[in-house]
Structures are given as structure tokens and as C-alpha cells.
């Protein structure tokens, strides 16, 4: 072979430079917050008696495999591999330093025998179950006090078979709050990726009292009319990143929360530093939501590149008298909506208290909500903003918003009370409350909290 020519070497050099350029302009990602750890130790659920025939109950296999991971404590942790097949099981707990890996065509399916679901204590920031006083059903997959946990695979499925729970809820025959599909409490360094979650009995993914949580490249599915099947609810958690996911469910796609009324106020654990990007989905409720449980406070939230279709409300910030705390520094940008009842809703009257002992003087502070670059068609009402009389919402800044589309929204495209802020290039023209600050004070949006 002749030695490489100078032009060829130059070509190579240029190719390397071009590749570096492509890398530096690749889209922002949070994949580095919780990097995928390498684990040399690997076990399969079939080593513990797991049978993927869709009928055998595998609860013992999952619990024993995870017990073994917890107690053998291999350096670097252990992968629990779930091969193709349908593995019916009751709920189980995860442990630290493990990866739950679902092969392509592997399904972990929740038993519909509700007697197999233990009750656990209510969350202190809620004081009771979300739906009923007292305890609540343990999540299908549960984790408490964990670190370094990965739940991933090759598009395998975690299936909650929630319809039995939804019909009990509809018939009002439940005494306790329904289980989440996945709840991780008091934990850090958690990665959830590359899987399908479907038919959760209640909320799908619930990180609560956690930090460093990444949820990416996920598909989350539940019927449009399934009750309370929220997609991802970061709750009293910080440094959470949700990206590149597709969610169609029966309730909010993502709802950032932090506890409920007097319980959330005294537990005092905010949700902060949360990024939501490149999310696509549909639901009869909110696309990106904050609240309504926000009594530990919610701040520093960025949501960008959000594509919504067949929605109830595009962006929904919701709170209530009695919640206390704050919602501040929320930025939502580059939102596309095709068909919604409302594009934007900011409401201070959602109702819903844990009990009668909430403090009616605990008023939430809502300040610094910036929404830019929204484009929508078939949006019935562009925006409804209803602050609280004794705690008006301030610093609501809208720019480059076009929620007109086809057909043109009816009269009263915007409805506002007890809010103030600024608007720039908003169509249809917003209510006067938002134009009360002139464009010459354009810096107001960035510095108002």
C-alpha cells in the first residue's frame, strides 16, 4: 500500500474538525447528570426461578434476586437482566447499585390481585394518601433510600395493568390510595431510560425527596380516560432532568409537585432545578404542569421544545389558598400545540385539600413565570390566568406567543384577574393586566424574582 498522500491527511484532519463541530452543536442533553454505570456482575431473573409465561407469579424471583444484589454487594453493582417474555409479579423493592435491564420484548407485568399489594405509610409531605386518608398501596416498583439505580433496557415494557384499579376507583370501592407504577423516595443518582411504561394504576413515575434523577428516551402510555395516570411527577426533588420522551396518558404529562397544604409546608422540601426538554404527548389535562400540590415550593424550572396535541391545557400552573410556599422562576419556551381547550392556564383556585385543618391564610406566592415562543392551532382559549386576590401573581411574562391558529379563537381569548406582568408579540392580544408593564421595561421578565 502506498503511504497516505498529503491531501488525504488534510482530508482526514478536516473530517476530524467537522466531526468535533457536529458534536459541539449537538442538542443539549442531561445524559451526563447520571452516567450509565458499567457493572461487571450480571444475573438473570431466570436464575432465580423467573418464568416469563405471563401466568407464573414471579414476585419471589424478583425479591430474591434483588435481596441477593443487596447482600452480595458486588463492586460496581449488579445488572438484573429480564429476558424476553412476560413476567407477572407482585410489587417489589429495588436496592442500591443495581440496573434493572429489560430486553426487547421483555415485559414486567403487575398482578391484578390487589391483595398482593402491601400498604405503606403516607408521604410526610402529604400527611395521608393522595386519594384516601391513611396509608397507600406500595408502588409496583418501589425504592426508598437508594443511590446509583438504573432502570433501562431495549424498549422493554413495565405494565401496571391498571384497569382493575381504575374501575375500583370509578366504582368508589377503594379504601386506600392507588399505587404508582414506579416510586423512588429519598434517593439520588437514578436513571430511568429506554423503556415503555404502560397502564399505571395511578401516577407513572414518582421521584419524591430525590436528587439527581434523569428520565430520558421513555414512552409512557395510558388511555386518555384513565384516572390520574400522570406521566412523570418530580415531587420535592431537585436536579431532575426529563428529556426525549413521548407521553400519552389520562392526566398531566409532567407535573412538578412538592407536598400538600399544612403537611407540605411543615415538611418544607422544595422542587428545584428541573429541566424538561423535547417532550411530545397528549392528554385531557396539562402538558407541563406545576402543582397543584406545591407546599414545599417550586423553583428554577426550565421546559423547552414541547410538542402537544389533543390537550386539555398546554401549560398549567396550579395552586390554591392553603398551599403556602411559592412557585417562582419558571421558564417555558418553544411550545407547539395542536388542539387544546386552553393554551396556558395559571390558576389559584384549584380546590382540593387534604383535610379541613389547612391554614386559609397560607397563601402561595407565584412570581416570575416566563413563556416564550408558543405556537398553537385549534386552541379554544389562549389563556386563563386567575391569581389570588390577597396574593396576586406577578412577573407573568409572555413573548412571541401565537395561539390563534385555525379556527380563530372566540372572543375572550384571554381572561385574567389578580395577575400582572408583561406581554410582547402576543396574538391574540392578551388581557390588559399583562400589558400594564411597558416594553421599555423589557428587562423586567428576567429580574423580577
Ligand X SMILES: *[C@@H]1O[C@H](CO)[C@@H](O)[C@H](O)[C@H]1NC(C)=O
Site for ligand X in 185-204 (CB under 6 A): 194, 196
Nearest CB to ligand X, comparing residues 326 and 414: 326
Of 144 and 418, which has the nearer Cβ to ligand X? 144
Shortest reach from residue 104's CB to ligand X, in Å = 8
Q: CB of 31: closest distance to ligand X in angstroms?
A: 8
Angle at 116 between CA 113 and CA 122, to 5 degrees: 115
Size of the site for ligand X (CB under 6 A): 19
CB of 404 to ligand X, least distance (A): 29
Shortest Å, Cβ 378 to ligand X: 24
Q: Closest approach of Cβ 339 to ligand X, in Å? A: 21
Find the shortest distance in angstroms from Cβ 14 to ligand X. 27
Identity of the residue, 143 or 291, whose beta carbon is nearer to ligand X in the bound complex? 143
Task: Out of 93, 114, 378, 391, point to the residue binding ligand X (CB under 6 A).
Answer: 93
Q: Would you call 47 a catalytic residue per the annotation?
A: no
Q: Which of 44, 46, 112, 155: binder of ligand X (CB under 6 A)?
A: 155
Q: Which of 41, 144, 338, 418 binds ligand X (CB under 6 A)?
A: 144
Backbone angles phi, psi at 267, to 5 degrees: -70, -30
Q: Which of 189, 251, 261, 305 is catalytic?
A: 251
Interaction residues for ligand X, span 269-328 (CB under 6 A): 272-273, 300, 302
Residue 114: what are its φ and ψ, rounded to 5°?
A: -70, -15
* Interface residue with ligand X, options 177, 238, 370, 381 (CB under 6 A): 238
Instruction: For residue 258, state whether it binds ligand X (rule: CB under 6 A).
Output: no
Contact 102, 87 (CB under 8 A): no
- In SS3 terms, the chain reads as CCCCCHHHHHHHHHHHHHHHHHHHCCCCCCCCCCCCCCCCEEEEHHHHCCCCEEEEECHHHHHHHHHHHHHHCCCCCEEEEECCEEEEECCEECCCCEEEEECCCEEEEECCCHHHCCEECCCCCCCCCCCCCCCEECCCEEEECCEEEEEEECCCEEECCCHHHHHHHHCCCCCCECCCCEEEECCEEEEEECCEEECCCCCCEEEECCEEEEEECCEEECCCCCCCCCCECCECCEEEEEEEEEEECCCCCEEEECCCHHHHHHHCCCEEEEEEEEEEEEEEEEEEEECCCCCCCEEEEEEEEEEEEEEEEEEEEECCCCCCCEEEEEEEEEEEEEEEEEEEEEECCCCCCCCCCCCCCCCCEEEEEEEEEEEEEEEEEEEEEECECCECEEEEEEEEEECCCCCCCCCCCEEEECEEEEEEEEECCCCHHHCCCCHHHCCHHHHCC
CA–centroid distance for 204 within its chain:
9
Is 154 near ligand X (CB under 6 A)? yes
Counting contacts by CB under 6 A, is residue 120 touching ligand X? yes
Should residue 217 be labelled a site residue for ligand X when binding is judged by CB under 6 A? yes
Nearer to ligand X (CB atom), residue 159 or residue 433: 159
**Which lies closer to ligand X via its Cβ, residue 57 or residue 196?**
196
Q: Which residues of 60-82 are buried (b: 16+ CB within 10 A; e: fewer)?
A: ebbbbbbebbeeeebeebbbbbb
Least distance from C-beta 1 to ligand X, angstroms? 36
Q: Which is nearer to ligand X, 312 or 421 (CB)?
A: 421
Q: Is residue 125 a contact point for ligand X (CB under 6 A)? A: no
Least distance from C-beta 274 to ligand X, angstroms? 8
- Residue 329 binds ligand X (CB under 6 A): yes
Q: Applying CB under 6 A, which of residues 239, 271, 381, 448 lies at the interface with ligand X? A: 239
Residue 78 or 320 having the CB closest to ligand X: 78
Q: What is the dihedral of CA 69, 72, 78, 84, to 10 degrees?
A: -50
Which C-beta is closer to ligand X: that of 152 or that of 381? Answer: 152
Q: Which residues bind ligand X (CB under 6 A)?
A: 93, 118, 120, 142, 144, 154-155, 194, 196, 217, 219, 238-239, 272-273, 300, 302, 329, 449
Q: Catalytic residue positions?
A: 251
Amino acid at each position: 500500500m502506498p503511504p497516505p498522500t498529503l491531501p488525504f491527511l488534510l482530508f482526514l484532519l478536516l473530517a476530524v474538525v467537522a466531526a468535533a463541530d457536529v458534536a459541539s452543536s449537538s442538542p443539549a442533553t442531561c445524559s451526563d447528570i447520571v452516567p450509565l454505570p458499567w457493572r461487571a456482575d450480571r444475573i438473570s431473573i431466570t436464575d432465580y426461578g423467573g418464568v416469563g409465561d405471563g401466568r407464573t407469579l414471579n414476585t419471589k424471583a424478583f425479591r430474591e434476586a434483588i435481596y441477593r444484589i443487596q447482600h452480595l454487594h458486588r463492586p460496581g453493582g449488579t445488572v438484573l437482566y429480564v429476558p424476553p417474555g412476560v413476567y407477572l409479579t407482585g410489587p417489589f423493592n429495588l436496592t442500591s447499585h443495581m440496573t434493572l435491564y429489560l430486553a426487547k420484548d421483555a415485559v414486567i407485568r403487575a398482578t391484578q390481585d390487589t391483595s398482593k399489594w402491601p400498604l405503606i405509610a403516607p408521604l410526610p409531605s402529604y400527611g395521608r394518601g393522595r386519594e384516601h386518608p391513611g396509608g397507600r398501596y406500595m408502588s409496583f416498583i418501589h425504592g426508598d433510600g437508594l443511590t446509583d439505580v438504573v432502570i433501562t433496557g431495549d424498549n422493554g415494557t413495565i405494565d401496571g395493568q391498571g384497569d382493575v384499579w381504575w374501575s375500583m376507583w370509578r366504582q368508589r370501592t377503594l379504601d386506600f390510595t392507588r399505587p404508582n407504577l414506579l416510586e423512588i423516595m429519598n434517593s439520588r443518582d437514578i436513571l430511568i431510560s429506554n423503556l415503555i411504561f404502560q397502564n399505571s394504576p395511578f401516577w407513572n413515575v414518582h421521584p419524591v425527596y430525590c436528587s439527581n434523577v434523569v428520565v430520558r428516551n421513555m414512552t409512557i402510555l395510558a388511555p386518555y380516560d384513565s384516572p390520574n395516570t400522570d406521566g412523570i411527577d418530580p415531587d420535592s426533588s431537585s436536579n431532575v432532568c426529563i428529556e426525549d420522551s413521548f407521553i400519552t396518558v389520562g392526566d398531566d404529562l409532567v407535573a412538578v409537585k412538592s407536598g400538600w397544604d399544612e403537611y407540605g409546608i411543615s415538611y418544607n422540601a422544595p422542587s428545584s432545578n428541573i429541566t424538561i426538554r423535547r417532550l411530545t404527548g397528549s392528554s385531557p389535562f396539562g402538558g407541563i404542569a406545576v402543582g397543584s400540590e406545591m407546599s414545599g415550593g417550586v423553583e428554577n424550572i426550565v421546559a423547552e421544545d414541547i410538542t402537544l396535541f389533543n390537550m386539555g391545557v398546554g401549560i398549567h400552573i396550579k395552586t390554591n389558598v392553603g398551599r403556602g410556599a411559592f412557585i417562582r422562576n419558571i421558564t417555558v419556551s418553544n411550545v407547539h400545540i395542536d388542539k387544546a381547550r386552553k393554551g396556558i392556564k395559571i390558576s389559584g383556585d384549584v380546590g382540593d385539600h387534604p383535610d379541613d385543618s389547612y391554614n386559609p391564610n397560607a397563601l402561595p406566592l407565584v412570581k416570575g413565570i416566563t413563556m416564550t415562543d408558543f405556537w398553537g392551532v385549534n386552541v379554544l382559549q389562549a389563556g386563563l390566568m386567575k391569581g389570588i386576590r390577597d396574593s396576586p401573581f406577578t412577573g407573568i411574562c409572555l413573548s412571541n406567543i401565537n395561539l390563534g391558529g385555525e379556527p380563530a379563537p372566540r372572543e375572550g381569548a384571554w381572561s385574567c384577574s389578580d395577575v400582572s406582568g408583561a406581554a410582547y408579540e402576543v396574538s391574540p392580544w392578551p388581557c390588559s393586566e399583562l400589558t400594564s408593564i411597558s416594553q421599555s421595561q423589557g428587562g423586567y421578565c428576567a429580574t423580577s424574582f
